[in-house]
Structure 1
Amino acid sequence: MSFQAYLDTIEDQTGLTPRQFLEIATTRGYDAPDVKAGVILEWLNDDYGLGRGHGMALVHVIKKGPRIDAKHVGTAGSHRDESDTLWLDGKATKPQ
């Protein structure tokens, strides 16, 4: 599953866009450099029922932003994406 597919599925499950999660995480201080992934994963699981795989996609966005490594773009691997920039503003507004 691609990074973008993880984010789209999270939106389906929670009704929140990745950008909304990023805003919530920022208000809670989870974007601070010293906050560990495990703390964020626990929050996402407790409050939204997200598992580790989906949670890690959001951890990436929260800690590193929407850019992903170019090695995932256009490959045949399971984590392939069409772009090196993830769309955070919701499936309904995603350019085709």
Structure 2
Amino acid sequence: MSFQSYIDNIQKKTGKSPSDFKLLAEEKGFLKNGALTVKATQVTDWLKEEFSLGHGHAMAIYASLKGKTS
């Protein structure tokens, strides 16, 4: 599955885009000045618990928060 496919599936499931997740991560204090301040596990645990994402999908959001787009 391509990175974009992961993002598309996440958006279908949650109704949220990567930019929405960025805003939510900022509100949670996971991002400061656009940079991640926490480890991947904290982000993936949050996404799994709050949005019922699987590990691969949570890691795709983590990657997008780090600035990776492909």
What TM-score comes out, normalization by structure 2 length?
Answer: 0.84
The number of aligned residues is: 67
Where structure 1 has 5 or more consecutive residues not aligned to the other structure, the ranges are 69-96
User: Displaced runs of 4+ in structure 1, greater than 3 A?
Assistant: none
Larger fraction in strand = 2
Q: Map of 1:5-84 to 2, 5 A cutoff?
A: 5-32=5-32, 33-62=36-65, 64-68=66-70
Structure ID, larger Rg = 1
Residue 67 of structure 2 aligns to which amino acid in structure 1?
G
Q: How far does residue 31 in structure 1 lie from its aligned partner after superposition?
A: 2.4
Where structure 2 has 5 or more consecutive residues not aligned to the other structure, the ranges are none
RMSD: 1.4
What TM-score comes out, normalization by structure 1 length?
Answer: 0.63
Q: Cα deviations across residues 2-24 of structure 1 (Å, max 9, x unaligned)?
A: 11110110000011111101111
Larger fraction in helix = 2
Residue 60 of structure 1 aligns to which amino acid in structure 2?
A
